[in-house]
Structure 1
Amino acid sequence: MTDTLIDRDWAVMMARYNAWQNEAQMRAADALPPRERERDRGAFFGSIHGTMSHLLWADLLWLSRLTGTPAPEAGLAESPRQEADWGRLQSRRGETDAALAGWAAGLTDEFLRGEVRWRSASAGGEVALPAGRVVTHVFVHQVHHRGQIHAMLTAAGARPEATDLFLMPEGAA
């Protein structure tokens, strides 16, 4: 079975959206005192910082599976602490968003009609899925956790920007 509902242009758009939203949320979080970013707010990965760190970890993990770059050494349980230093998290987020954008720009129809195989600790073994579904997961995972971050930022008194895709500025990312 293949998933052919997406194409390179969709992935490029989603990579732009991803970078735009990550930048906006980083700016909103940067305006908060460190204790507010690090406060456990009951989210799956605890805090704003922890959830942002998990997203970085996940993107690095997916890039390793899709491009052969090194995988994070930490596992899922350690992902909220992937980048404990706020400044380093900010810079690595930007670098990783650029890497995702470059990867998306290089996608081919042949790849998207193919299959991606990897070993997953979460699934307990080898996984093989249509590439289109994997690419979709990479971006949907981001949206899911950024929704949590948006709620935590709002609860902390920050004013995050709009998240609607149709409001993404043409020149974003």
Structure 2
Amino acid sequence: MITPDYARLMARYDRWQNSALIAAADRLDDAARWQDRGAFFRSIAKTLNHILWDHRVWLARQQGDADTARALNQRHPYADGPRDWAAYKDARAALDDEIRSWVGGLTATEIARNVTWQRGPETVETPFALNLIHMFNHATHHRGQVHAMLTAAGVDPGATDLPMLPDEV
């Protein structure tokens, strides 16, 4: 379905886009980042926090860390914050580093396996590759919402097209 090179490309794209949106959001004050803009998670900050939370959940599932995934699913810890913008940026950068390092070591054999995880009270088994594609695709979906909110706030978040990824063209 996908290759280790695909996973590495998507991790690079993910980091690039997370960094671009954070740089754009840096041009707003804290009140503007938390302002209700009518999106699903309401604000730029809450949507970015959701992406961070979701990446942590899927990374834990893919790595077989059921305890962390379960704890994260008990409470959506990033729905309301960290309210400290600098702490958020540090957490995002650290997680992006962790994801890039992790996918850097993935093999085709690992990508071809299934992953068992909890969806509510139910134990499910899904393809590792499908979960990984979902993790990156889901983030892209919500970053699109952040991009739209930033644009509406008068901030240009920049290019989002994969062929524009630095060092790809």
Does TM-score exceed 0.5, indicating one fold? yes
In terms of mean alpha carbon deviation, does 102-111 or 136-145 score higher?
Answer: 102-111
For the Cα contact (< 8 Å) 2:34–2:44, is it kept in 1? Answer: yes
Matches of 2:99 and 2:159 in 1, distance apart? Answer: 22
Looking at structure 2, the residues matched to 78 and 99 of structure 1 have their Cα atoms a distance apart, in angstroms, of 19
Instruction: Name the residue aligned to 2:100.
Output: 101
Identity of aligned residues (%): 41
Matched position secondary structure for 2:14: helix
Q: Which amino acid aligns with 2:140?
A: V
CA offsets 1:46-88 (integer angstroms, 9 cap, x no match)? 1000000011111111111122553454646553224222111
Give the conservation status (yes or no) of the 8 Å contact 1:57–1:82: no
Matched, 1:27 2:20: no
2:6 alignment counterpart = 10
What is the aligned partner in structure 1 of residue 43 from structure 2?
47
Q: Distance in 1 between matches of 2:117 and 2:137?
A: 19
Q: Following superposition of structure 1 onto structure 2, how do residues 1-173 of structure 1 map, counting pairs within 5 Å?
A: 5-68=1-64, 70-71=68-69, 73=72, 75=74, 77-121=76-120, 124-170=121-167
Q: Secondary structure at the match of 1:18?
A: helix
Q: Extract structure 1 runs of 4+ deviating beyond 3 A.
A: 68-79
CA distance in 1, matches of 2:28, 2:122: 40
Q: Which runs of 5 or more residues in structure 1 are unaligned?
A: none
Partner AA of 2:163 in structure 1: F
Point out the more displaced range, 19-28 or 58-67: 58-67
- TM-score normalized by structure 1? 0.89
Higher alpha-carbon deviation: 57-66 or 20-29: 57-66
- Mapped to 1, the partners of 2:145 and 2:96 lie a distance apart of 19
The one-letter amino acid of 1:104's match is: V
Q: Deviations over 1:18-66 (max 9, x none)?
A: 0000000000001111111100111111100000001111111111112
Q: What TM-score, normalized by structure 2, do the two folds share?
A: 0.91
Q: Structure 2: give runs of 5+ residues left out of the alignment.
A: none
